[in-house]
Amino acid sequence: METSCRICSGPVKGSVDLGVQPRGNAFPKPGELAGEFFYPLIVGMCDSCAMVQLMADIPQEVRYHDQYPYRASNSTVHSAHFAGVAHRLLRTELTGRDRFIVEIGCNDGVMLASIAEAGVRHLGVEPSQEVAELARSRGIEVLPRFFDEETAADIRAGHGPADVIFGANVIAHISHLDSVLKGAVTLLGPDGVFVFEEPYLGAVVEQTAFDLFYDEHSFVFSVSSIRAAARLFGLDLVDAEPLAIHGGSMRYTLAKRGARRPTPAVAELLAAERARGLDRHATLEELNRRAERVRDDLTSLLRSLRADGKRVAGYGAPAKITTVTNYCGIGADLIPYVCDSTPSKQNRVVAGSHIPVVPPSVFRQDRPDYAVLFAWNHAEEIMEKESDFTGRWIVYIPQVRVL
């Protein structure tokens, strides 16, 4: 299978095949399973710019609907992280008079709340209605639109140029990334920066985190692919900073061409990526083989536990659970329920695999023998919270293990 790159139109060859998948965050109600949307989840890399991307094109209106269930404030670690991001931007980029920051996909306002509290001019761009309302209730100004060139021009006309455009776990979701980059050029002031943090290809490869591929992640970025994309649209990559969040992310800072000198980290990370083969198809092909191994090991472990009469539950229902359960063919016969603290996911089922999502109180009462940790990027927080759990944890990243 071959398509053309969404960024530079170069040839993209499919390397990771995760089968037919529904939308990661669909979480349908048990009575609404007819007509679920499925698509082939194949991931490829562009020969020219090394951008890793989904081969299928899923309309964004299908993904970010009014009831989009993801809440960025879903963990205390994440909330603290984004408050930290806000305070750092306030100290570094938003110090002058009448500064202005735009956040693309502000979700429930987890980052902008601290900016609003500091009285700094801001605008959250958020098309999903329920989360936008949560942000508004925290005193944040929200524009209910998708961010693209046109939105950027309208914001500039209405509010003036931005000193900072920020995005977290959203820029890699936007299949029209070209239009976002053109929009950034339009909206930024001469010394403005476009800062975004997204799951990092290097971490996905290192940890065999194939479940980070789902419909919302149109791309998985690397320093080299972002540098190439930025260049194409008149921007420079001026900084890159590895982050621990979401199992391993990277924060990228782009500025208008020639406006800022790149930090030494950019060249260092580029060299490290070349040494690790993050710009080569073979690396993705190897990831595909390792994902197959995880699939085989996890399904055979769950089947043998079932044969032994053990009770197994799932813990955490991130979008990742949709990829892993559909890829492995794991349904409610192997994992009867998964608990998750997000009310908007509870009493619904995982798309495709139809595993029921219940509140954590059910897990605590039920006391299963084993719990598969699907929210593996929150392992520390969850294991601490569930220190009374007497069963054993099953993890499958980077390989299947019983703890």
Segment contacting ligand TMP by CB under 6 A, of 156-164, 285-293, 335-343, 394-402: 335-343
Residue 294 phi, psi dihedral angles, 5° rounding: -60, -45
Structure tokens at 39: 């698509």
Closest separation in Å from C-beta 116 to ligand TMP: 23
Binding flag, residue 299, ligand TMP (CB under 6 A): no
Binding flag, residue 167, ligand TMP (CB under 6 A): no
Binding flag, residue 324, ligand TMP (CB under 6 A): no
3-state per-residue secondary structure call for 152-206: HHHHHHHHCCEEEEEEECCHHHCCCHHHHHHHHHHHEEEEEEEEEEEEEHHHHHH
Closest separation in Å from C-beta 49 to ligand TMP: 27
Enumerate residues 198-237 that contact ligand TMP by CB under 6 A. none
Give the neighbor-by-neighbor strand order of the sheet with 100-104. 142-143, 121-125, 100-104, 162-168, 188-199, 249-256, 235-243
CB 53 within 8 A of CB 218: yes
Taking the least distance from each CB to ligand TMP, the nearer of 84 and 160 is: 84
Distance CA 214, CA 25 (A): 9
- Please select the residue that binds ligand TMP; options are 167, 202, 318, 368, rule is CB under 6 A: 318
Enumerate residues 358-377 that contact ligand TMP by CB under 6 A. 375, 377
Beta strands in 200-262 (DSSP E): 219-220, 235-243, 249-256
Binding flag, residue 381, ligand TMP (CB under 6 A): yes
N-terminal to C-terminal alpha carbon distance within the chain: 39
- For residues 59 to 98, the per-residue mask of contacts with ligand TMP, x marking binding by CB under 6 A and - elsewhere, is ---------------xx-----------------------
Q: Can you tell me which residue has the tokens 């007509």? A: 35
Taking the least distance from each CB to ligand TMP, the nearer of 167 and 316 is: 316
For residue 402, which amino acid is it?
A: V
Binding flag, residue 378, ligand TMP (CB under 6 A): yes
Closest separation in Å from C-beta 147 to ligand TMP: 21
Q: Applying CB under 6 A, which residues contact ligand TMP?
A: 74-75, 316-318, 340-342, 345, 375, 377-378, 381-382, 385
